[in-house]
Each structure stands twice: as C-alpha cells, then as structure tokens.
Amino acid sequence: MAYEHTADAHHHDEHDHHGPAHGWRRWVFATNHKDIGSMYLIFACVMFFVGGLMAMIIRAELFQPGLQLVEPQFFNSMTTMHALVMIFGAVMPAWTGLANWMIPMQVGAPDMALPRLNNFSFWILPFAFTLLLSTLFVPGGAPAGGWTLYPPLSLQTGDGFPMAIFAIHLMGASSILGSINVVVTIMNMRAPGVGLLNMPLFCWSWLITAYLLIATMPVLAGAVTMLLTDHFFATSFFSASGGGDPVMFQHIFWFFGHPEVYILILPAFGIISEIVPAFSRKPLFGYDAMVYATAAIAFLSFIVWAHHMFTVGMPLAGQLFFTLSTMMISIPTGVKVFNWTATMWKGSLSFETPMLFALAFLFLFTIGGFSGLMLAVVPADFQYHDTYFVVAHFHYVLVPGAVFAIMAGTYFWLPKWTGNMYDEKLGKLHFWLSAIFVNVLFFPQHFLGLAGMPRRIPDYSTQFADWNMVSSLGAFGFGLSQLLFPYIIWKCVKGGQKATDKVWEGTKGLEWELSSPPPYHSWTEPPSREIVARGVQH
Amino acid sequence: MSFQMKNRPARRGFQAAAISLFATLATAAHANWGGLNMPEGVSILSKKIYGLHMLIMWICVILAVVVFGAMIYSMVKFRKSQGAVADTTIVHSTKVEIVWTVIPILILVGMAVPIARTLIEIEDMGDVDVNIKVTGYQWKWEYEYLGENVSFFSTLKRDSDAARQVGSGIDPESVPNYLLDVDNVLVIPAGQKVRFLLTAQDVIHAWWVPAFGMKKDAIPGYVNEIWVQVEADKTGVYRGQCAELCGRDHGFMPIVVEVKSPADYDAWLRAKQAEQKLADVAPGTPAPVASAAAANVTQQ
C-alpha cells in the first residue's frame, strides 16, 4: 500500500514503525490521512477567520445608517468574498479534514484509499484561495456581484474576474478529488464485519455528500466556464442581446447550488448522530431511518433548485412543483430531528462541550429549518425573497448548523486525536458565548427582513437602525468569542489531562478502540471480529 | 437555562454573555416594535400573502413548541447527574416513525391548497385597468404609462444621495425618508387593477414595494408581470427598494409609489401628459430628455 513507501522507519509510537517524515517534507509530501486531515482543518480555521474578518467589516458598516467605513463597491466585494471564503474555504475543507481524520479510523482502514490524490486535493486549496483573495488587490477589485455570480452583473467584474473563475475551478477540482477518495475508501477499505448498514452515520452522510459533490461540482464548473467565454470569447450563453438567457445561468447555478447546501449540512447530520447517542448513553434511535432520510434528502436536493429563484417569473406549474418538492424535504429532515429527540428520550444525558454544541445545533438548526419551510411557500417568498429574512435563514442553518457541528465534532474527537483532554471550562465558555451571541447576531435579521430590508445593501433607511445595531453587536461578540477556539485546540495539543482510549463514557465505534492518540497508521491490521462487534452501531 | 454549570469560568462567561445580551436588548428598547413582522400591506394580494405568512408561521410555532418541548423535557428529565439510567432497548419503533412521517405529510398537503389558490390569483393578469412598464437601470427606474404617452425616470433624491456618501458628515436621521425618497414619484390609482411589466436594460434588478406584497425580477430580455390592486381607501405614499443585487449602487435605487383616488390620478396623468408634450417640442429642456441621455450612457 502507498503509505509503506512514504516513511523511513522512526520509532514514534509503539504500534507502528512508520513514523512521520521530519520538517516541511512531512507536510508538503504528506500522504498520511491524519497529517492531511490536520492540514485541512488548520486551513479551514484560517479561512474561517479570514471570512469572519470580512463579516466584521460588513457588520461594522451596517452598525448604523450612513456609509462610515467602506465604499459600496467594496462592501459588495465583502459580501461576495465572505460567502465564497466561508463556503469553499471554511466549511467544506473542515468537513474534508474531519473525513480524512475519522473515516479510516471508523471503518477499520490504515489510511485513505488514495493517499497521493489526498495530498493533491489538499494542496490545490492554498493556491485556489491565494488566487481568489488576490483579486482584492487587482484593478476593478474582487468579485462584487454576489457569490451566486449572476450574469450580466458578474460580467462587470474587473481584472479579478478570470482569477475568481479559475479559483472556483480549482476548488471544484479539489472537492471532486477529495470526494472520490472518500467514496473509494468507504466502498473498499471497510474492515470485515463493518457493513454498509452498520457503519457510523458520519461515514454514511459523507458517502452521500461525496456523491453530491461529484454530481454537482462539474455543473458549477460548466456554469462558470460559460461565464468566462461570455466575457472573453464573445459567446452569448447568458446575454439576451446575443440570443442567450440570463435566467438559464440561475437554473444551472442552483442545480449545483441546492445540492451544495446539503453538501454543507449532511456531514453535520452525521456528526450530530454520533454525539447525541454518545452523551445520551443510548444507541441512535432509528439508524436505518436515518440512512434512508439522508439519502432521501440528497435525492430531493436535485429537484428543488428553482426555489432559490421564485421571483424570476416562472410558469404556475413550475412554481407549484418547486414549492411542493421543497416542502417535501421537511419530511426526511423532520424524521432526523425526531430521531435525535427520541435518542435523548429515556437516556442518561450529560452536558460536556460536544453535547452542548450538538444540542444548540438541534434547536437552532431546527429554527433554520422552520424559516426554510416558510420560504418554501411561494406567495410568501415573494415577500421574503432577497431580504434579511433569507440571510437569517441560511445563517441559522450554516452557523449554528454546520459550523456548530464542526465545533462539536472537533471537541468530541480532539482528545482522541491529541491524547489529551481539552480544557472543559474554556470549552463551555466558548460554547455559551457562541450560542448566545449567534442568536443576538442572527435572530434580529428575521425582523429586519420581514420589515422590508433587502439583503446585500451597504446602507439602509433609518427605520432599520435599531435591529442592525443589535445584530452588529452580536456579530462582534460572536467574532471575538471564536478566538477562544484555536486557543483551546492549541492548549490541548500542547498537553493536558491524558485521555483514555474511549475518551467519553458513552462512545461506541472503531475509532474509540484505537489508542489516544491513535497510531500514525490507523488500522495496520484489520480489527478483529470481537473489536468490530464491540464497535459497530447495532 | 437548565444546564448545570459547576465550573466558575463557564458561569462567568455565561453571565458576561447574558449581560451583553440584555445590554443589546436595552439598546433596542426604543426600537420600532411594530417592525417585527411582515406588514399586512394595502393590496388585495398583500393581505392574502400576509395570511399565508401568518398561517405557516403559526404552524412552525406549534411544531416548535412540540419538538423543543420534547427536547427540553428530555434534557431536564433524563440527566445523568439526576441519576437517570439509559434505557438502551429503545432503538426503533415502526409505529412512532410512521406517525411522525405521516403528520408532516398531512400538514404539507393541507398547506398546498391555499398556496395553489393564492398563486392562481397572483398569476391572473386579466381585466387590467392600467399598464405600467418598469425598466431597471444601474441605478434608477424608468416608468412608462403604456398608451398614455407618459414616461419618466425616478432616481434617489438629492439630499439622501448627498448624505449617503462616505464621510459626508450628514446625519441620516436628519434627512426625511433617508434612502427611500425619489425625484419623480410613480402614481397609481387606488381601487383599480394595475399591471406592471418589468424589464431591465443592463443587469437584473427586482421591483419591490412591501406594502403591495409582491416582488419580481426585472431581467434584460424578459418582460415579467405582476399586478397590484390597492384597496380603494388606502391612498397614500408607499416605499420600496430594488431587491436584486445590481452593482455598486444597488442600495440606492428606491421606489416610491403614490396611490391617489382615481379622479386625482386622472388629473395627475393629464397634467403629466401636458408637461411631457411641452418637453417634446422644446428638446433642450427638462428632465425626460436629459435622463434618457444618461440612460444611454449607462447602457454602453
């Protein structure tokens, strides 16, 4: 296997003779799933703060009416880049990082199936984001037409335009390669006894996510390539004056964009499905239903895209179809929320930091789900569309949804990764500050949207002043609280109370059968039948 | 919160966060509390849309009470610190799972009926009294009263435009209707069905007056339709904004509609026709010609 070629034998731990290489070679030539996973997670964390800084600029400008800090064009660049950086730079790499760390350990494999591909798919990312972020310094500035890149507006971007398009191509390539690796690993590297219907739900949700990525990233690549040729090669795919159709771009974009929404959230469902049972000391309720619900959500995500564009002027039948298919998503999603609740029912709950983040996820993601249900009602969407109500909705599902799940997963597995317990007091402090400020930040945005404030505006009429100020204060509080997160991780990596192999009382799964920290190559021999029987879900 | 916090720093952090929460709420104490919900609006459709909004919102509130109630109950009742012992036999129940799949399906089917009914009404463009073509430009609106020989541009009012410049030093609070005022107001009659035909010259815009309940995109190469019938007694001024990101000054192309009684509307229209005829014979003069030239510049 590939990992055997990498290392010159160092005696780093008692399990394995293949230790990591020294110095920069360990990272640049990395083929180890843990090293690559760590690089993904560090990259995601850096991008989380870069995107967060942009959010702080946005909220600082919106702190009060009038333009105090930035020009409108730069403000638009900030909203556009904030979205691209957070989606493609923070959340998606964080999921791939967690997949790298956990999937081989969870399925009983020594490493990811394709280690060199793994290296490549990570190292594309720093180049992609250097390219994307350097658009801030070229004539015409960074893209400012929204992350959705709708033409004709996106075609007005300056010299940064082709750079942003190529950056998106690179990110897409990285995601596809990472997804192929996940699929191959889960399909081929499961230890004997680890079946598809008893592997951890994190693996299941990632398997489905990987298929979504492989299916939709080429669609995005196609859409942005057509933008590129419209701009430079005189095609008119999206230009009405040349016989093209600007609305067609939106259809293509959202055919990628809606599955993308589930790419961002399905792995979160997987993590929550691991954490809630662990801290309820009770098996997950309805494992099969959870798998089928995840698959159903993934399927439905391909036939709801036009609900992002109800206001473009669709035929009545189209509006009815997309409103009904969208509302149908709430059925499998509801099944998931009910199953998590039933998992806690008659359990024995304790509230360590991972569980606190998971519980906040349950409440706040569900609020985002409710506002999503409201947005599915087409006539009402004619009012909600492109207002702060939508901003509140997708931030509820992405911040206390996806981001809280990433944090929950990090606190959950950090002792396993490092062999040390993190500082529980600081973890709880981080949780409470995050959970309170995230609501101060985003809940008032529902009011602003309903009262009529459009999104993506740098300045607003004075009737919106009060709630914008509250929201901005929440944003500053939330942003500052996040500085705790890397500090807690750093502290944990440096040392702390030693973690047991099982780490938490209620954990179940093959990763908990390994030592803490685990050997450099996870399962050099497939786990025995007894270990597998102990570790599998049911 | 029902969580038990044994350690002091966490509690201190919780208190600090709670204090700042109350501080921010206190900041909002003089907030416009009427601005918490969607306005009911003044048109036939806006009231129906508001009704649907309230219906789905109450459904969500009831579901939230049930789901969050069960979660909070579990968090309070089944705590390890209170000696709860997990019942590890509860892993599956076909009966319960069918129940909580079927109930949401019934709710959705129930919602589908009023949604479809309202949509059919929204799409009914028959029996129109007044037709107005709305064209979006970066960053202004053009209104054309079809068949009436009246058309004009509508842009952000000067005082707002001066105040909104970075470092203008002008307090937005001192500007009446800051960012929501225009030079030329769109006028429509109350109690009549007005159809808006929406299109754009450069990029995609969206025409939205919240009080009318509807927004729709104005797209180059497309003509979209919406209709508005303001209730006969709801004359007055209603304000809105462009709702689709359209570039640098997207936030600065407001919409102001004055709803007049049909008699006042006719008088206004006749005066406007006379004014525009004058403008046609004397090309050097006022607004329409100058702004049309400006529009041509933005087109290029």
- Mean pLDDT of all residues in A291-299: 96
- Does residue A368 register a pLDDT over 90? yes
Place of tokens 């600065």: B252
Q: What is the pLDDT of residue B92?
A: 85
Q: How far is A269 from chain B (nearest CA, A)?
A: 17
Query: Which residues in chain A are closer than 8 Å to B179, comparing Cβ atoms?
Result: 65, 459-461
Residue B43: φ, ψ to 5°: -105, 165
Token pair, residue A81, equals: 């880049």
Residues A430, A431, A432, A438, CA torsion sign: positive
pLDDT band per the 50, 70, 90 thresholds, residue B15? low
* A432 vs B: CB within 8 A: yes
Residue A5: φ, ψ to 5°: -80, -20
Q: What is the pLDDT of residue B12?
A: 58
State the average pLDDT for chain B: 86
Q: What is the pLDDT of residue B18?
A: 61
Q: CA separation (Å) from B132 to A276, B157, B227? A: 57, 22, 10
Q: What is the pLDDT of residue B19?
A: 62
Q: What is the pLDDT of residue B6?
A: 47
When CB atoms are compared, the residue of B3, B240, B252 closest to A351 is B3
pLDDT band per the 50, 70, 90 thresholds, residue B300? very low
- Does residue A536 register a pLDDT over 90? no
Give the chain B residue nearest A472 (alpha carbons): B24
CA distance B226 to B198: 8
pLDDT band per the 50, 70, 90 thresholds, residue B24? low
pLDDT band per the 50, 70, 90 thresholds, residue B299? very low
Contact flag B91-A457 (C-beta cutoff 8 Å): no
| Lowest-pLDDT choice from A215-224, A302-311, A326-335, B17-26 | B17-26
pLDDT band per the 50, 70, 90 thresholds, residue B292? very low
Query: Which residues in chain B are closer than 8 Å to A508, comparing Cβ atoms?
Result: none
CA distance B293 to B298: 9
- Does residue A405 register a pLDDT over 80? yes
Q: CA separation (Å) from A512 to A130, A273, A501? A: 37, 16, 6
- Mean pLDDT of all residues in A218-229: 97
- Does residue B27 register a pLDDT over 60? no
Question: Which residue out of A363, A428, A445 would a mutagenesis test of the B interface target, given it has the greatest number of B Cβ atoms within 10 Å?
Answer: A428
| Residue B240 three-state SS | strand
Query: Which residues in chain A are closer than 8 Å to B244, comparing Cβ atoms?
Result: 311, 386
Q: What is the pLDDT of residue A269?
A: 97
CA distance B286 to B267: 21
- Does residue A294 register a pLDDT over 70? yes
pLDDT band per the 50, 70, 90 thresholds, residue A253? very high
When CB atoms are compared, the residue of A281, A311, A327 closest to B206 is A311
Give the chain A residue nearest B92 (alpha carbons): A286
- Does residue A132 register a pLDDT over 90? yes
Token pair, residue A461, equals: 């009429």
Q: How far is A263 from chain B (nearest CA, A)?
A: 24
pLDDT band per the 50, 70, 90 thresholds, residue A480? very high
SS3 per residue for A302-327: CCCHHHHHHHHCCCHHHHHHHHHHHH
Q: How far is B263 from chain A (nearest CA, A)?
A: 30
Report, in angstroms and rounded to the nearest whole number, the Rg of chain B calculated over CA atoms: 27
When CB atoms are compared, the residue of B57, B87, B101 closest to A331 is B101
* A318 vs B: CB within 8 A: no
Q: What is the pLDDT of residue A17?
A: 53
What is the length of chain A? Answer: 538
Contact flag B90-A342 (C-beta cutoff 8 Å): yes
Instruction: Say if CB A300 and CB A329 are below 8 A apart.
Output: yes
Q: What is the pLDDT of residue A431?
A: 97
Give the chain B residue nearest A74 (alpha carbons): B248
Question: Which residue out of B14, B30, B74, B139 would a mutagenesis test of the A interface target, given it has the greatest number of A Cβ atoms within 10 Å?
Answer: B74
Give the chain A residue nearest B38 (alpha carbons): A450
Instruction: Say if CB A230 and CB A238 are below 8 A apart.
Output: yes
Q: CA separation (Å) from B119 to A1, A34, A160, B48, B124? A: 60, 53, 41, 10, 9
* A280 vs B: CB within 8 A: yes
> Please, which residues have CB within 8 angstroms of residue A513's CB and are 6 or more apart in sequence?
A501, A527, A531, A534, A535
When CB atoms are compared, the residue of B25, B49, B206 closest to A383 is B49
Report, in angstroms and rounded to the nearest whole number, the Rg of chain A calculated over CA atoms: 23
Q: What is the pLDDT of residue B130?
A: 96
Instruction: Say if CB B155 and CB B140 are below 8 A apart.
Output: yes
Query: Which residues in chain A are closer than 8 Å to B163, comparing Cβ atoms?
Result: 66
Instruction: Say if CB A408 and CB A271 are below 8 A apart.
Output: yes
Q: How far is B276 from chain A (nearest CA, A)?
A: 30
If contacts are CB pairs under 8 Å, which of residues 45-104 in chain A contact chain B? 65-73, 76
Place of tokens 């007091």: A425
Q: What is the ipTM of this complex?
A: 0.90
Q: What is the pLDDT of residue B239?
A: 96
β-pairing verdict for B214-218 and B205-209: antiparallel
Contact flag A436-B120 (C-beta cutoff 8 Å): no
Give the chain B residue nearest A369 (alpha carbons): B60
Instruction: Say if CB B269 and CB B228 are below 8 A apart.
Output: no
| Lowest-pLDDT choice from A194-208, A237-251, A408-422, B21-35 | B21-35
Token pair, residue B101, equals: 């799949």
pLDDT band per the 50, 70, 90 thresholds, residue A9? very low
Instruction: Say if CB B186 and CB B122 are below 8 A apart.
Output: no
CA distance B217 to A392: 21
Sequence-ordered strand ranges (E) for chain B = 130-137, 140-145, 150-154, 186-189, 194-200, 205-209, 214-218, 224-228, 236-242, 254-260
Interface A-B, measured as beta-carbon pairs within 8 A, has a size of 343
When CB atoms are compared, the residue of B13, B115, B225 closest to A323 is B115
Residues of A known to be catalytic: 82, 111, 147, 174-175, 258, 260, 262, 273, 307-308, 333, 336, 455
With a pLDDT cut of 70, the percent of chain A lying above it is: 96
When CB atoms are compared, the residue of B21, B120, B220 closest to A440 is B21
If contacts are CB pairs under 8 Å, which of residues 456-495 in chain A contact chain B? 456-464, 466-467, 469-470, 473-474, 477
Give the chain A residue nearest B223 (alpha carbons): A313
Query: Which residues in chain B are closer than 8 Å to A359, comparing Cβ atoms?
Result: 71, 75
Contact flag B248-A380 (C-beta cutoff 8 Å): no
Question: Which residue out of A425, A439, A442, A471 would a mutagenesis test of the B interface target, given it has the greatest number of B Cβ atoms within 10 Å?
Answer: A425
Please count the helices (runs of H) and the strands (runs of E) in chain B: 6, 10
A444-478: pLDDT as tens digits: 999 999 999 999 999 999 999 999 999 999 999 99
Give the chain A residue nearest B246 (alpha carbons): A153
Q: What is the pLDDT of residue A535?
A: 79
- Does residue B23 register a pLDDT over 80? no
Count Cβ atoms below 10 Å from residue A493 Cβ, excluding itself. Answer: 15
CA distance B235 to B261: 7
Amino acid identity of A270? G
List A9's β-bridge partners, or say none: none
β-pairing verdict for B236-242 and B254-260: antiparallel
State the average pLDDT for chain A: 93
Q: What is the pLDDT of residue A208?
A: 97
- Mean pLDDT of all residues in B46-67: 94
| Residue A13 three-state SS | coil
Question: Which residue out of A253, A310, A461 would a mutagenesis test of the B interface target, given it has the greatest number of B Cβ atoms within 10 Å?
Answer: A461
Instruction: Say if CB A288 and CB B97 are below 8 A apart.
Output: no
Instruction: Lay out the sheet containing B205-209: strands in order across.
Output: B186-189, B254-260, B236-242, B205-209, B214-218
B199-232: pLDDT as tens digits: 999 999 999 999 999 899 999 999 999 999 999 9
Residue scoring higher pLDDT (A39 or B12): A39
Instruction: Say if CB A166 and CB A194 are below 8 A apart.
Output: no
Amino acid identity of B300? Q
Instruction: Say if CB A520 and CB A13 are below 8 A apart.
Output: yes
B112-139: pLDDT as tens digits: 999 999 999 999 998 999 999 999 999 9
* A347 vs B: CB within 8 A: yes
Residue B159: φ, ψ to 5°: -65, -40
When CB atoms are compared, the residue of B23, B78, B204 closest to A347 is B78
Query: Which residues in chain A are closer than 8 Å to B68, comparing Cβ atoms?
Result: 363, 366
Q: What is the pLDDT of residue B90?
A: 84
Token pair, residue B269, equals: 């229209």
CA distance A153 to B278: 37
DSSP structure class, residue B92: -
- Mean pLDDT of all residues in A383-407: 97
- Rounded to the nearest angstrom, the gap between the alpha carbon of residue B262 and the centroid of all alpha carbons in its chain is 26
- Does residue A52 register a pLDDT over 70? yes
Query: Which residues in chain B are closer than 8 Å to A450, comparing Cβ atoms?
Result: 36-38
Query: Which residues in chain B are closer than 8 Å to A351, comparing Cβ atoms?
Result: 3-4
When CB atoms are compared, the residue of A348, A380, A383 closest to B86 is A348
Question: Which residue out of B80, B171, B224 would a mutagenesis test of the A interface target, given it has the greatest number of A Cβ atoms within 10 Å?
Answer: B80
Residue scoring higher pLDDT (B8 or B83): B83
- Does residue B4 register a pLDDT over 50? no
CA distance B4 to B82: 11
Nearest Cα to A244, choosing from B221, B136, B198, B225? B221
Count Cβ atoms below 10 Å from residue A265 Cβ, excluding itself. Answer: 24
Give the chain A residue nearest B105 (alpha carbons): A331
| Lowest-pLDDT choice from A112-121, A364-373, B274-283 | B274-283
Residue B189 region, left (φ>0) first, then alpha (ψ -120 to 50), else beta?
beta
Q: CA separation (Å) from A98 to A26, A42, A178, A218, B85? A: 19, 11, 12, 23, 32
* A13 vs B: CB within 8 A: no
Q: What is the pLDDT of residue B2?
A: 39
Instruction: Say if CB B246 and CB B171 are below 8 A apart.
Output: no
A136-172: pLDDT as tens digits: 999 999 999 999 999 999 999 999 999 999 999 999 9
Query: Which residues in chain A are closer than 8 Å to B28, comparing Cβ atoms?
Result: 444, 466-467, 469-470
Instruction: Say if CB B258 and CB B185 are below 8 A apart.
Output: yes
Token pair, residue B144, equals: 């054309």
Q: What is the pLDDT of residue B291?
A: 45
Q: CA separation (Å) from B65 to A370, A396, B62, B79? A: 12, 18, 5, 21
- Does residue A389 register a pLDDT over 90? yes
